Every structure is written in structure tokens, then in C-alpha cells.
Amino acid sequence: MRTKKIYIAGHRGMVGSAIWRALEKEGYNNLIGKTSSELDLRDQNAVIEFFEKEKPDVVIDAAARVGGILANSNYPYQFLMENMQIQNNLIDSSLKFEVQKFIFLGSSCIYPRLAPQPLKEDYLLSGALEPTNEWYAIAKIAGVKACEAIRKQFGRDYISLMPTNLYGPFDNFDLKTSHVLPAMIRKFHEAKIAGNLPVKLWGSGTPLREFLHVDDLADAVVFALDNTFEDNLYNVGTGKDLPIKELASLVQNVVGHTGKMVWDTSKPDGTPRKLMDVSKMEKVGWSAKISLEEGIQSTYQWFLENQQNFKEVKI
């Protein structure tokens, strides 16, 4: 099993690189990765040629066009079409070239905006999506359904893992486009360096959010690779959430910032709560291992070691 040829699409990203590290650690020694300049996954012919030449046994799809609310709002067509092109080319070529195992990675945004909490896999397609990222979500839902269709029609072991909010090494710390946790790490750090200035944070701090370290997701992917699951769709998360205010205090303590926190309530809060039901993954024998505090500490350490690559920020 450890000699199987595994192609990781998106191996340079936060998720793909974590999966690569986890597989190497487990003794997998036949991994393939291609940068976007080496292989444009939107190009069907290029993807077919790649599969014809490499003939991977396993494909892990961690490639996607991603971005925040602003990017999704400004480029709806690209978010829909490019994500569908990437995954359709990978899934269809995997079927054609008899890839036995395919692991498709999505996002919790595939679930309806007003679905009951915690989010169960059964809630898929049971209501309207969150308008701010529906283009990305629709593409990902199509990927989930394509893998499900292949399971039904061809009996292949193609599964979909839907992670909650991810963070960790190689995260995006650009304050214009980053998600809440890396943005907080950077804001508190910059404010500390500048003499513990006050840190302004968006919203009221009351929404509840769940966070999963990317190394835990990578561990779940390795688990899915080593085991055969009965179903096609599984949530991956911690099953625990906390208010954004509590998250801010955790980050502040880890960073060592001693100034004030100022909450700008004129800014939107977003969805009040987004928690994954992870009982299906727990039932098959997997659960998250990295505590949030431990994860924030290691992510901050990575930030410190790599901050020369980040642009200057004005507090």
C-alpha cells in the first residue's frame, strides 16, 4: 500500500502540503505533485495527458480556486467555472484511467445557510446556500455528487471529505484576504511589536465558530486512504466551537499582546453559528487530536519563522 502512486492535486497549498507531509511521515514514498505552471488543471487535454503518462493509483483533490467574500462576490463566474473545470477534469480522468481511490476535499459552505446546527451530511441540498459563497459551494456540491455517482455506477472507492474552518502552517496572513484566525494572529503580533497598541476586530465577537488544524485534516485524509468507508460524504472537524471573542483572547494570550481589544460592531458578524456534526467520522474511527490552543501556538511559531515573506501592515 505504501508504494501506491498517489497524485496530490494542489500539493503546494496549505491543505495539499499538509497531506504531503502526513503521507511522507506514514511511509508513503511514491507521491506526485505538479505546480499550476507545470499542469493547468483547467485544461482537459493537459490533465488527460498527465493521467495517461503517470497512471496514478490514488488521487487526492486539494486543488481549488479559493477566496473570501469579496473575491466570491467580484468573480462569481470564475469561482463556479474554474472549480468545476479543475474537479471535473480530475474526477473524469480518474474514472477513465481506472484510479481506484479518489479523495475529494470540499468545505462546510456546501451546506444550506440556515441548516440546523450541528451540520449533518444529510442536510446537503436541503435549503438555500449562503449567497456570499454560493458559486464556490455549487461547484463543490457538483464534485461531491460526481464522486457519489461514480460510486453508485462503477463501484469505485471515491469519497468526499468536508472540513470545517482550517488554519495552520502556510495559511494566508494577508489582512485583505485572510480568514479570521490568521488575521487575528497577524493583527495581535503587529500591535504587540508596535508597543501593544489596541487591536480593532470586526463585529460583536458573539458568533460561534469551529476550527480544525490542517494537520488534523491531513491525518483524516491518511485515515481515509488506509480504510474503506461505507458512505461517500463525511464531515471533518472537531465537533466543538467557541465564540469569536474567546478565540481572540486565546490568540492574544499566545501572541503575548497586552493591549486592548476594540470590537467594531458596525462590521458584519456573518452566520451566528457554523458547527459540523462529526459523528460519522468518529463512528468509522477517526477524531481530531490537536487542541485549539496547541494549534494556535504552533501556527504562531510558523508565522514568526516566515513573517519576512509577509508585507508590512499598518495597524
**187 annotated to bind ligand:** yes
List, by residue number, the catalytic residues: 136
- Select from 248, 249, 240, 296 the least CA-distant residue to 273: 240
**254 annotated to bind ligand:** no
Residue 208: all three cell numbers together:
460561534
Place of cell 502540503: 17
C-alpha span between 22 and 20 (Å, rounded): 6
**Strands 208-209, 242-243: pairing kind:** antiparallel
Neighbour count for residue 263 (Cβ, 10 Å):
17
**151 annotated to bind ligand:** no
**259 annotated to bind ligand:** no
**164 annotated to bind ligand:** yes
**2 annotated to bind ligand:** no
**256 annotated to bind ligand:** no
**216 annotated to bind ligand:** no
**108 annotated to bind ligand:** yes
**179 annotated to bind ligand:** yes
Strands (DSSP E) along the chain, which ranges?
6-9, 31-32, 58-61, 101-105, 157-163, 165-167, 199-202, 208-209, 211-213, 233-236, 242-243, 261-264, 273-274
**168 annotated to bind ligand:** no
Cα dihedral sign for 133, 135, 139, 145? positive
C-alpha span between 290 and 296 (Å, rounded): 10
**202 annotated to bind ligand:** yes
**209 annotated to bind ligand:** yes
Residue 69 CA, distance from chain mean position? 15
Residue 92: all three cell numbers together:
473524469
DSSP of 54-123, one letter per residue? H--SEEEE-------HHHHHH-HHHHHHHHHHHHHHHHHHHHHTT-SEEEEE--GGGS-TT--SSBPGGG
Place of cell 519563522: 305
**72 annotated to bind ligand:** no
**13 annotated to bind ligand:** yes
Annotated binding site for substrate: 187, 202, 209, 269
Annotated binding site: 10-16, 105-108, 140, 163-166, 179, 187, 202, 209, 269
Annotated binding site for NADP(+): 10-16, 105-108, 140, 163-166, 179
